[in-house]
Homo-oligomer: A and B are copies of this chain.
């Protein structure tokens, strides 16, 4: 299997990216094509003793930053690592593409360059998040399309279910509709219509789900319009991070507190690990004609390696074909 990788995307590129790639290459037997500035990647590899000799390196001269406008940057930077990589994927030079770069640009490029699966209205950005019962759930759409139609929400549910079942190994994933209450009549026209479509589908629809129940694992696929999904995603991650930070601060505040920390360190590590997005590696862009996977922007080698493992499963499990059959 050949996976194309954006060597320049993310906060820790290229070093952590190429480290993760080399580890994944060895462990999972992947062929990796790195796309990025030859000079920068080679220099980083040499200086840090990372062997990239077994990976193909395609030189590009431009880099898309997190601040670039997703709608225009693929055209304005035609020789960026992301643009070139997605064109290569579309041309059949690889089986999947992974990047830790600009999410918005990745969604736009997934749609315009890699193209959609036939029948899919709009690809959705679909991060997999940890909950507090030791599992995870998918939030789709987290912002690829700020405005959504009911049929799009149904497709997000179909695509999310396929991914959670085939890649994450969850049997008959429970689909929940993001809403302001659990009763059927809650929400606006979008939710009312989507509710009907989901109820009539073959999916394991568990009804409306309130965001307050997400941390307790209320569903496996949380379906939402992109604007709301993005707001929920950022609140979810933001509050967890801020609160964890506060607990950490407390535990290192004094000698006494440090002693307490030492007593609970192994349980604390388990808790932190349970709620560590690095375990889940990132977010597939659901609905593209070939797998496109977004690794977390702050991904280090381990997270990026996880992203490559999940992408491998994404390819192996033929999720794209599953979706094509389901939306036909």
Instruction: Name A's B-contacting residues (CB within 8 A).
Output: 69, 132, 143, 146-147, 178, 180, 185, 187-188, 210-216, 227-228, 230-232, 234-247, 250-251, 253, 256-257, 259-261, 263-264, 267-268, 271, 275
Interface of chain A, helix or strand or loop or mixed? helix
For the complex formed, measure the closest distance between the CB of A78 and the CB atoms of chain B, giving whole angstroms: 22
Q: Which residue of B lies closest to A225 (CB)?
A: B227
Which of A147, A230, A239 has the most CB atoms of chain B within a 10 A radius of its CB?
A: A239
CA distance in complex: A235, B142 (Å): 14
Contacts of A275 in B (CB 8 A): 243
Q: Contacts A132-B246, A256-B263, A267-B257: A236 and B234 contacting too (C-beta < 8 A)?
A: no
Q: Contacts A211-B231, A246-B132: A263 and B271 contacting too (C-beta < 8 A)?
A: no
B238 and A215: CB pair below 8 A? yes
Q: A146 touches which one: B187, B240, B267 (CB < 8 A)?
A: B187
B213 and A238: CB pair below 8 A? yes
Contacts of A215 in B (CB 8 A): 238-239, 241-243
Q: A263 touches which one: B214, B236, B239, B260 (CB < 8 A)?
A: B260
CA distance in complex: A231, B243 (Å): 19
B247 and A239: CB pair below 8 A? no
Contacts of A187 in B (CB 8 A): 146, 227
B250 and A239: CB pair below 8 A? no
B251 and A264: CB pair below 8 A? yes
Contacts of A216 in B (CB 8 A): 242
CA distance in complex: A269, B133 (Å): 25
Q: Which residue of B lies closest to A226 (CB)?
A: B180
CA distance in complex: A230, B235 (Å): 12
Q: Which residue of B lies closest to A256 (CB)?
A: B263
23 residue pairs A–B, Cβ–Cβ below 8 Å: A132-B243, A187-B227, A210-B234, A210-B238, A211-B234, A212-B234, A212-B237, A213-B238, A214-B235, A215-B238, A228-B228, A231-B232, A231-B235, A232-B235, A239-B243, A243-B243, A250-B268, A250-B271, A251-B264, A259-B263, A260-B260, A260-B264, A263-B263
